[in-house]
Amino acid sequence: MAARTDRAGSWALLTEALEADLADTQGGTTREGVHLGAMAGTADMVMRCYGGVETRDNALWLHPALPDELNSASFELSYRGQPVTIDVTSRRMHIRLHSGSAAPIRVCAEGMTRTLGPGQVWEVALGPRSPARKDHRRMPSSGYGQP
Q: Which of 53, 51, 55, 122 is nearest to 90 (CA)?
A: 51
Whole-structure pTM over 0.85, yes or no? no
Residues 6+ away with beta carbon under 8 Å from 24: 30
* Angstrom distances, CA of residue 144 to CA of 91, 104, 117: 26, 25, 27
Domains and CATH numbers, the chain: 2-134 (2.60.420.10)
**Model pLDDT, residue 31:** 53
Integer Cα distance of 68 and 72 in angstroms: 10
Nearest to 62 by CA among 129, 137, 8: 137
Residues 76-128 pLDDT 10s: 999 999 999 999 999 999 999 999 999 999 999 998 999 999 999 999 999 87
